[in-house]
Structures are given as C-alpha cells and as structure tokens.
Amino acid sequence: MNLLLIIRRAFWLGARDYTAIFTWKTWLTNWFVRVVAQVSFFALIGRMLGDPGQTQFLLVGNAVLLAAMVGMYAVNMVSWERNAGTLPLLAAGPTHPAVVLTARGSYLILDGTLSASGALLVTAHLFGMPLPWPRAAIVIALIAVVAASAYCFGILAGSLLLGFRSIQTIVTNVGLVTLMTLCGVNVPLDFYPEPMRWVASVLPLTNGLVAVRLAVTGQWQAALFPAAWEALVGIGWLTLCLLMVTALVRRGRRHGTLDYAS
Amino acid sequence: MTVVTRDAVTLAPFGVPEPELQYSAGTPAIAAVDLVREYPRKRKDPVRALQGLSLTVAQGEVHGLLGPNGAGKTTLVKILSTILLPTSGQATVCGHDVVRHGRDVRELIGVVMGGDRGLYTRLTGRQNLEFWGALQKVPRKVLRSRTEHLLERLGLAAKADARVETYSRGMKQRLHLARGLIGDARVLFLDEPTMGMDPVAAREFRKLIGELRDEQRTILLATHDMTEAESLCDRVSFVRDGTVVATRSPHAVAGLVSAVQGLELDSADAALAATLAEVPGVTSVTTDGATTRILVRSQDDFPRLLHLLADHGVTSLRTLRPSLEDVYVRLIGDRGLEV
C-alpha cells in the first residue's frame, strides 16, 4: 500500500516537473507540431516512392518510434537526479532509490503514448490511411506497451550512464538511432541477417511495432503475440534496471560515488 | 565503565582517539568506533579520509563537528547516513549498525546539507516536502498536516506554492531543514547548513536548530562556524586528519589549551605597551580604545608578566579565556589557505 502511494506520488511529482517545462499549449504548439512534422516527413518519402504500402510502413514506424523516443528521455531524468544532488538523499532515505527512479519518470510513458498515438492519428488522417475508432483504441493500447517498454530501457540506460555524464547525450542519440535502424521503423526486419534480428527482438519497440502494424490492418488477434513479447521485453529491461540501480547504489556506497557536495 | 550524560565531559585526551564507551544511560544516538575510510586511487596510495575516528553522541545531544576542509567531517556524516560504507570500524545510529542495518538507520535519520543542491528546483516547496515525506513513508493524512506545520514553522508558508528555483539561499536552507524533518527524524545530520547564508538568515536558522534541540532530537552539526557551534552545541568535537583530536562542551574547551590565554587591562601607555611586548612569552600586545590585551604563549609566562605590571603600578586587570575559535586554531593548527 505504501509502495503504491510512493509510486503514485513519484509519478505526480515527475509529471509536475514536466509541466514546468511544457504547458498543454506549448506541448501542442511546439512539441506535438514537431513530432507530426517528423512523421509526415517520412510518410512523404513513402508517398514520393509512389507506394501506398511504403507510405503506411514509414508512417506507422515513425509514429510508434516516438513512444520509444520519449521513453528514452528517461536517461536525462536519471541524470538530472544526480545533477540536482538528490541521488544521495534518495540513498539516505528508507525508500529504495530504484523504486523512486523508476516511478518518477513514468509520466514519460503517458507522454510517449500521447505523442505517438496523436501523431499516428493525425498523420493517418492527413495521408488518407483508414484507422477507425475501435481499431485505433487497440493501436493506442499497443503503443502504450511500447512506451512502457522503451521507458524501462531508458531508465536502465540512464542508470548505466550515471557515472559517464560527458558521453550521456551521445549515447542517448546512438541508442535512438539504433532503435530507429534495427527495430523495423524504416527498414523491414527481414532485411537484416539472423543475429541482428535476434538483437532487435530483445530491444524495445521491435515487437510492439510489429503488433501495431498488424492492428492497424485489423489483425488484432495476430497482434497479441508480438504485443505480449514486447511486454515481456519491457519487464525484462525493468528487472535489469531495478537490479542495476540496486547495484549502482551499492557500488556508490562502497566507492563513495553518491556524492552531494556542490 | 564510563557513564555519559549530556553535560559530562568525557573526552579523549588530546591527540588520542576516544575509546569505545559503554553506556548505562540508554543507547547512544550515534556511536562510531575506530572508523576508517579509504578512497582508492589509480596507481597511487589510497586517500585516508578517516583514520580511526571514534565519537559518541548521546540521545538528545547537539554535537558539533569542527574541522578544516578535508578533515573528514562530511565523510563521517556520509557514513552515518548510510551513503558511504566505512573501510573498517563500526558505527551505529540509535543502536543500529549503519552497514548491517542500514534500512533501520534510514528510517530514523534526516540529512540536511548546505548549498543549493538536493532539492527539486522546478517543483514548489510544498511539492518537495510532500514528495520527500512520501519517500519517508509518512501516512498521507499525517504528511499533509506535517507539511503545513513545517512550512508555517520555517516561515515558508507564504512561498509554499512558488517554485524552489525562485527561493533565496536562506529559504532553500530552511526548506532543506524542513525536508530533513518531514519524516520526524530522531537523528539529524546537518552538514554546514548555514553555508552561504547571510548573517540574519543564519541567525534565524540557528534559532530553529535551537528549537529542535529543545525537542530532544539528536543533531550532529558539521560546521566551520564557531559562533554556530558555540551557541548551539552541547559538545563539540575537533576533527583533524580524519580523527577526533578532542571533544568538550563549548564552555569547557578552554581547558584544552590553557585555562587563561592572556590578560586585559585598562589602556596602557605606549611605553608600557612596548615594554610588555618585549617580555619573553608574550605573543601580542594590542591596544583597542580603553583596553590593552596581552596574549601569552603559556601559563608559565604569567609570573614574569605580572611582576612587570605590578612594577609599573598596574593593579586592575582581567584574565582572558580563549574562545572556541582560539581553541580551534590551537588544536587544528593555523593552516592558512592550505587545503
């Protein structure tokens, strides 16, 4: 019960932190316009190729990528915790830092789901791709799974990068490009050799994107298996993340790296 | 067996670590025995931040840690607050071992540090307190009323819903203190809490600490500020090179260097002042308005000085007792700007 309260409080605190950066007006006029433009750009490439199938592939891929992209921003959230000097205070508190770190950025799952779903619905309408409401609801649910899975991956990456602040931005971008390249966003998965496909299958986004593509075309039952796999991948990354933060805090206590001196 | 009470002076002889103490009057709030903390370095000998430090703080005591930068004060606070593991030695907080029962320790403590960091600056003061309170597992209803109470008590109620990034340094420090208290901590670690505060804000802050002392909370205060230590602490420990060189109550510290540091007399004329300055053992003679202060190296120098003053017809004089700051300089050594 107490854990739920902590998670809920951490979620709201993170969300309030986010509202200090974006109001709903700036979110719509700055962020959302930007992501719709991004998805439209790739969809236009498909249209220029003259193939409606290509247009849909690129449109869906790049829209769902947004969920993963926002989830990856968790890297910055974890890093901010250290920059603000709050990490050692979390370690000195009775609640495990892993719980707090995982819960505090979970608003990004909501943000990722909203960004990706909104961009998908708007661009699908702009490019004449049918996405009737019941089907759209399933697609949104699947996108939420992708956002959650990518968020867990992002938290893990953020924890790993805690000690390497100088390369954090580079690694985040490399991570995003890797997801974009390997996970079937712009390039079909079967293009890659078997080992790379195996790597892609344990990354967030890959299986969720397969599920979304199936759901978009009305094959929602077929989407269940890849969706479950995506959820499993997310749980795997979450477990690794909790273990990693626990290990990092333990290591920090041993090596004195949980600094707070300004 | 040594029985420790709040007013007792039970301290290690000068330069010798305090021995392990046995208590008959309840468990000490803080007990550290032979704490060693080394920081390994690549291809170099490890740095020893603590070298067998021992310290005992009774329940309800306000205990000051005085020492220069790098003496080991913050390292000790980190170990006691379970942020850092000791290389060897043992430390307990309210009887709980900080290594083996860290979780129990964390339920009991509050950590307040100086400076701007350690707060979520994009959130309001109230949101910060509610968040940290939730992490301290304070029940929701209690948390709400305690947050209001602390905001009111620390003079932050008017700015409770303003973002912390708009707070002054003094307000941030008060919020730090409120954060440390939101879990109703029995033991508070204050690490240079008035660092960078203006004198008025620092005085107000000290007043708050005084109130906490009245509530019988145990406070370990690491500070450079002698006035702060003198006005707040039941006892102070001088820390040098990772070890406690002495512990006394602020009023008893004079005994660590000498009972009397010098003499003060009604203003001496220039000729007498010059003569006094020539007396062996006199370290300084200063005249300030109506009084002349003569400082001596040791008590052995007094007889010669007193004879000379009597010869010059001086019949009225006062003894000067060393201040906490004087003791600090004598014990820790005047290192100038060396770090």
Give the mean pLDDT of A213-226: 91
Asked if B117 and A85 come within 8 Å (Cβ–Cβ), the reply is yes
Q: Is residue B280 domain-shared with residue B148, that is, in the same domain? A: no
**Higher pLDDT, residue A204 or B203:** A204
Q: Is residue B237 domain-shared with residue B267, that is, in the same domain? A: no
Q: Is residue A262 part of a domain?
A: no
Say which CATH number the domain at B311 has: 3.30.70.100
Rg (Cα) of chain A, in Å, rounded? 19
Q: What is the pLDDT of residue B12?
A: 33
Per the structure, the count of domains in chain B is 2
Q: Is residue B89 part of a domain?
A: no
Q: Is residue B241 domain-shared with residue B275, that is, in the same domain? A: no
Q: Is residue B225 part of a domain?
A: yes
Reduced to 3 states (helix: H, G, I; strand: E, B; else coil), residue B3 is coil
Q: What is the pLDDT of residue B22?
A: 37
Burial class (CB in 10 A: 0-12, 13-18, 19+), A58: buried
Give the mean pLDDT of A191-209: 93
**Higher pLDDT, residue B156 or B256:** B156
B309-335, pLDDT tens digit by residue? 888 888 788 777 666 777 677 666 655
Instruction: State the alpha helices, DSSP H only, in A84-132.
Output: 87-91, 97-104, 107-126
Q: Is residue B280 domain-shared with residue B207, that is, in the same domain? A: no
Nearest-by-Cβ selection for A91 from B74, B83, B116: B83
pLDDT at A208 over 90: yes
Q: Is residue B238 domain-shared with residue B274, that is, in the same domain? A: no
Helices (H) and strands (E) in chain B, counts: 11, 14
Asked if A261 and B74 come within 8 Å (Cβ–Cβ), the reply is yes
Q: Is residue B40 part of a domain?
A: no
Asked if A262 and B116 come within 8 Å (Cβ–Cβ), the reply is yes
Each as own residue / partner, the long-range contacts of residues B6-11 (CB below 8 Å, 24 or more positions apart, any chain) are B6/B58, B6/B60, B6/B61, B6/B234, B7/B234, B7/B249, B9/B235, B9/B248, B9/B249, B9/B252, B11/B246, B11/B247, B11/B248
Chain A residues lying within 8 Å of B126, measured CB to CB: none
Asked if B74 and A91 come within 8 Å (Cβ–Cβ), the reply is no
Among B250, B273, B302, identify where a domain stops: B250
ipTM of model over 0.90: no
Asked if B82 and A260 come within 8 Å (Cβ–Cβ), the reply is no
Q: What is the pLDDT of residue B6?
A: 33
CB of B127 less than 8 A from some CB of A: yes
Q: Is residue A187 part of a domain?
A: yes
Other Cβ atoms within 10 Å of A147 Cβ, number: 32
The band of B19, judged by pLDDT with boundaries at 50, 70 and 90, is very low
Asked if B134 and A262 come within 8 Å (Cβ–Cβ), the reply is no
Instruction: State the alpha helices, DSSP H only, in A84-201.
Output: 87-91, 97-104, 107-126, 133-160, 168-182, 194-201
Q: Is residue B23 part of a domain?
A: no
Q: Is residue A55 part of a domain?
A: yes
Q: Is residue B69 part of a domain?
A: yes
Q: Is residue B152 domain-shared with residue B243, that is, in the same domain? A: yes
Asked if B39 and A256 come within 8 Å (Cβ–Cβ), the reply is yes
pLDDT at B104 over 70: yes
Q: Which domain holds residue A242?
A: 2-255
Q: How far is B166 from chain A (nearest CA, A)?
A: 13
**Higher pLDDT, residue B48 or B269:** B48
Asked if A92 and B106 come within 8 Å (Cβ–Cβ), the reply is yes
Q: What is the pLDDT of residue B44?
A: 85
Give the mean pLDDT of B101-126: 88
Q: How far apart are CA A152 and CA A160, in angstroms?
A: 12
Nearest-by-Cβ selection for A94 from B74, B119, B137: B137
CB of A48 less than 8 A from some CB of B: no
Instruction: Tell which A residues from 70 to 109 touch B, by Cβ distance under 8 Å.
Output: 84-86, 88-95, 100
Least confident stretch, A248-257, B89-98, B110-119 = B110-119
Q: Is residue B18 part of a domain?
A: no
Q: Is residue B274 domain-shared with residue B230, that is, in the same domain? A: no
Give the mean pLDDT of A41-63: 92
The band of B192, judged by pLDDT with boundaries at 50, 70 and 90, is confident
Q: Is residue B243 domain-shared with residue B281, that is, in the same domain? A: no
Q: Is residue B333 part of a domain?
A: no
Q: Is residue A261 part of a domain?
A: no
A77-117, pLDDT tens digit by residue? 887 777 788 888 999 998 888 888 888 889 999 999 999 99
Largest CA distance in chain B: 77
Nearest-by-Cβ selection for B127 from A16, A253, A258: A16
Q: Is residue B130 part of a domain?
A: yes
The band of B274, judged by pLDDT with boundaries at 50, 70 and 90, is confident
B127-170, pLDDT tens digit by residue? 999 999 988 888 888 999 999 999 998 889 999 999 999 998 88
- Phi and psi of A2, rounded to 5°? -65, -35
Closest CA to B178 of B159, B195, B156: B156
Q: Is residue B133 domain-shared with residue B273, that is, in the same domain? A: no
Asked if B83 and A20 come within 8 Å (Cβ–Cβ), the reply is no
Q: Is residue A175 part of a domain?
A: yes
pLDDT at B85 over 80: yes
Least confident stretch, A135-149, A154-168, B5-19, B94-108 = B5-19
DSSP assigned state of B124 = B
- Phi and psi of A104, rounded to 5°? -65, -30
Burial code (b: 16+ CB inside 10 Å, e: under 16) for A61-93 equals bbbbbbbbbbbbbbbbbbbbbbebbbbbbbbbb
CA geometry: angle B90, B96, B98, nearest 5 deg: 50
Q: Is residue A81 part of a domain?
A: yes
Full-prediction pTM beyond 0.80? no
Burial code (b: 16+ CB inside 10 Å, e: under 16) for A169-193 equals eeebeebbeebbebbbbbeebeebe
Q: Is residue B294 domain-shared with residue B199, that is, in the same domain? A: no
Q: Is residue B179 domain-shared with residue B243, that is, in the same domain? A: yes
Chain A residues lying within 8 Å of B130, measured CB to CB: 9, 13
Q: Is residue B244 domain-shared with residue B270, that is, in the same domain? A: no
The band of B296, judged by pLDDT with boundaries at 50, 70 and 90, is confident
Contact B18, B235 (CB under 8 A): no
Reduced to 3 states (helix: H, G, I; strand: E, B; else coil), residue A261 is coil
Q: Is residue A226 part of a domain?
A: yes
**Higher pLDDT, residue B198 or B156:** B156
Closest CA to B242 of B55, B9, B41, B114: B55
Q: How far is B259 from chain A (nearest CA, A)?
A: 38
Q: Which domain holds residue B175?
A: 59-82+100-250
Per the structure, the count of domains in chain A is 1
Closest CA to A252 of A120, A123, A18, A88: A88
